[in-house]
Amino acid sequence: MSADIVERRRYARVDLPLKARFLSENGEERPCLVINVSAGGALLRAALPPKEGESVVLYIDDVGRFEGRVVRSTPNEFAVDYRGRRSKTRRTADALTLTLNNRSSWSSARAAPRIKTDARAVVRLENGEVRFCSIMDISLTGASIEIDPRPPLGAEITLGKMTAKVVRRHERGVGVVFSGPAKRMEDAINEISAGDGAYPVAPSVDGPKLAAPFGKKSASAQD
């Protein structure tokens, strides 16, 4: 068995029916569907898959944004290897564990894929006040941000370079809807982010009957 195959099998893989998008090298963003995913890569289904060897940016609904390379491609499926820094791999594993534990709350009717991030952003309020905030998750049509104090419902704000309206308040901040939805997830992230991009978040999860954390498989486990 080659060293590359052994390395790919270090990470537990699970079937998760998640919506996703990918940004190809030519700048075109297309929808796809996750077949299975791990902390090191994913197998996806798409009408027009990218070619083997192509570099892509992958956005997995409820998990995060990943830069990787296509290691296998067929007429309807493609596999992406996005192994990177160990710290990001740990965050990815934690995000996958959280997503699996929250599977009962998935909504197949969600119009736009939403990805977890830890991107920093700047908010400008209606009175001109400027505050820093953290983007908890983002879609093409809106975002959830961590901010304190929380702007009131109905407030018009500027998030990065995008105008938005506060439509929901939660314990850590607010949910907003963009006035002009972005056409590509990468554009949405770039327009609101004040930092170095987005990575999967690893929120704490408490309580019984949780899925085992993702990570290295036992020596007897197979793909």
Per-residue pLDDT tens digits for 47-72: 999 999 999 999 888 788 888 999 99
The pLDDT of residue 76:
94
Residue found under tokens 């809807």: 177
Residue 59 forms beta bridges with which residues?
Answer: 21, 65
End-to-end Cα separation, the chain, in angstroms: 13
- Contacts for 194-197 with beta carbons within 8 Å, 24 or more apart? 194/119, 194/120, 194/121, 194/122, 194/132, 194/160, 195/119, 195/120, 195/121, 197/65, 197/119
Distance CA 80, CA 43 (A): 6
CATH C-level class of 117-192? mainly beta
> How far is CA 137 from its chain centroid?
8
Q: Which of 74, 94, 34 is nearest to 58 (CA)?
A: 34
Q: What are phi and psi of 3, to 5 degrees?
A: -65, -35
The pLDDT of residue 94:
62
Q: What string of H, E and C letters represents the secondary structure of 18-42? A: CEEEEECCCCCEEEEEEEEECCCEE
Q: Are 49 and 77 in contact (CB under 8 A)?
A: yes
* CATH entry 2.60.120.340 includes domain 3-89: no
The pLDDT of residue 37:
85
H helices of the chain, in order, are 3-8, 86-101, 185-192
Q: Are 19 and 110 in contact (CB under 8 A)?
A: yes
The pLDDT of residue 17:
76
DSSP strands (E only) in 52-161: 55-60, 64-73, 77-81, 115-116, 120-124, 130-138, 142-146, 156-159
Where the chain has pLDDT below 50, the residues are 1-9, 104-110, 195-223
Predicted TM-score (pTM) of the model is 0.58
- Encoded tokens for 158: 């500027």
Residues of the chain within CATH 2.40.10.220 domain(s) are 3-89, 117-192
